[in-house]
Amino acid sequence: MKKWTSLLVLVMIFFFLSIEGNAQCAMCRATLENNVSNGNIGIAAGINFGILYLFAAPYTVIALIAFFWYKTSKRTAQNESKGSLAG
């Protein structure tokens, strides 16, 4: 119960102390709008790809950690079940 209480307090702290942020700074936005209006979409496509890369990287890392955690726990459970059958 103490674990869940501390987790709830931590989530509430992050929730109430969150800072609002903008996706792009004013200079980046002005540059992209200027390039797109002039017909040059290469820079805008590059920045959009960078944003998607930064968005996907943490989820990929979390998915890998979850996969290896699942694999390890499954192997541990199989070893424990084999040990209880032998004893």
Q: What is the DSSP string of 33-65?
A: HHHHHTT--HHHHHHHHHHHHHHHHHHHHHHHH
Rounded-to-integer distance, Cα 72 and Cα 67, Å: 9
Task: Quick: pLDDT tens for 37-47.
Answer: 888 888 878 88
Rounded-to-integer distance, Cα 77 and Cα 85, Å: 12
Give residue 31's pLDDT.
80
Give residue 15's pLDDT.
73
Query: Is the backbone of residue 21 left (phi > 0), alpha (psi -120 to 50) or beta?
Result: beta
Rounded-to-integer distance, Cα 32 and Cα 30, Å: 5
For the segment 70-84, the average pLDDT, to the nearest whole number, is 87
Record the pTM.
0.48
Rounded-to-integer distance, Cα 27 and Cα 47, Å: 13
Token pair 């955690």 is found at 69
